[in-house]
Amino acid sequence: MSRSLGAAFMGRARERIELDALLADARNGAGSVLVIRGEAGVGKTALMQYCARQAFGFQVREISGVESEMELPFAALHQLCAPMLDCLDVLPAPQQQAIQVAFGLAEGSPPDPFIVGLATLGLLSETAAEQPLACLVDDAQWLDSVSKQVLGFVGRRLNAESVLLLFAVRADARDDDPGFAALPGLTVGGLTDEDARELLTASVPGRLEQHVRDRLIAETRGNPLALVELAGEMSPEELAGGFAGRPSLTGMLYDRYLHRIEGLHEAARLFLVLAAADPTADPALVWRAAHALGLGRAEAEAAEAEQLLVIDSLVRFRHPLVR
């Protein structure tokens, strides 16, 4: 059974139009690329999920940068391309060799990122020859640097391939992305006041007084994560008091996630650790490892009930902070 996190997707008319147009281009054989930027919780992943839902007739590859893998060269590229390796033999021999060395399938000195870039372009283009391909790269601020360099190169070279390459980058991250320079970008801000009001109505049980609601919207600047997570758990007195003098948004979220995790029994926490250790977010792999540790559905459901993660076609954490 697939469950979704949070309320229905709201607003974002401008962004939807842009993503729909990119999908249409890719469907018609005009490769397209976009870097979505914005602060934590503003809705970049939600936009990517929208894109995945709209990608009728596409093969969809979804990957995420993983902070703990930033120092591992080619780790993200491996996540993206491992399922495409049956096309490898159509590439020129030096490109095959470069990919094999990059992915640890052959011995050799570290490959030239330029050759790996050409090889990646070849793999994507060959894969998309059968059916259009959407590659959704979330949390791209955490890609290892050579994968970022290679994927940026691929983005600049996409041309007559039925490929959409979409990146989401947290804009307040340490390293903004020289690798993605010169790629078209879309900066996402908060929801409009009207959409924010609708989101609050849908996600906060009970009626919020109008002045409290308006203050929340103003103080969160329409950031949907802040609206949903904080308004949902703050007491009426806290809500009435607003956010003045509070720690940072990330700090407040961190405390709340920690609190929910600490409320779980030990086996469910172990399940979370296990899921966090799998960067590929592959449910089959996580279930196999869970069974080996004597964990199962009950533990996953406990974590799902606390809205810490969801397991559908992928293992999805509510927020990278949970991981």
- Closest to ligand ATP by CB, 66 or 158: 66
Collapsing DSSP to helix, strand or coil, 318 comes out as coil
Residue 18-57 contact track with Mg ion, rule CB under 5 A, x = bound = --------------------------xx------------
Is residue 43 a contact partner of residue 224, using CB atoms and an 8 Å limit? yes
Q: Which residues contact 164 (CB under 8 A, 6 or more apart)?
A: 22, 23, 25, 26, 31, 32, 33, 51, 55, 58, 132, 133, 134, 135
Q: Does 252 bind ligand ATP (CB under 6 A)?
A: no
Q: Does 46 bind ligand ATP (CB under 6 A)?
A: yes
CB of 167 to Mg ion, least distance (A): 11
Q: Does 314 bind ligand ATP (CB under 6 A)?
A: no
Q: How far apart are CA 301 and CA 182, in angstroms?
A: 43
- Closest to ligand ATP by CB, 64 or 120: 64
Pairing of strands 32-38, 163-170: parallel
DSSP 194: H
Out of Mg ion, ligand ATP, none, what residue 38 binds, judged by CB under 5 to 8 A for its kind, is ligand ATP
Binders in 138-167 for ligand ATP, by CB under 6 A: 139
- Closest to Mg ion by CB, 139 or 299: 139
Segment contacting ligand ATP by CB under 6 A, of 43-51, 90-98, 105-113, 236-244: 43-51
Strand order in the sheet with 185-187: 59-64, 133-138, 163-170, 32-38, 185-187
List alpha helices for 55-176, DSSP H.
75-81, 93-102, 113-130, 145-157
Binders in 196-235 for ligand ATP, by CB under 6 A: 199, 224-225, 228
In sequence order, what DSSP letters do the residues of 286-307 get, joined into one string? HHHHHHHTT--HHHHHHHHHTT
Q: Which residues contact 86 (CB under 8 A, 6 or more apart)?
A: none
CB of 172 to ligand ATP, least distance (A): 8
Q: Nearest residue by C-beta to ligand ATP? A: 43
Q: How far apart are CA 224 and CA 216, in angstroms?
A: 11
Q: Does 10 bind ligand ATP (CB under 6 A)?
A: yes
- Closest to ligand ATP by CB, 31 or 65: 65
Q: Which residues bind ligand ATP (CB under 6 A)?
A: 5-7, 9-12, 38, 40-46, 139, 170, 199, 224-225, 228, 319-320
Q: Which residues bind Mg ion (CB under 5 A)?
A: 44-45
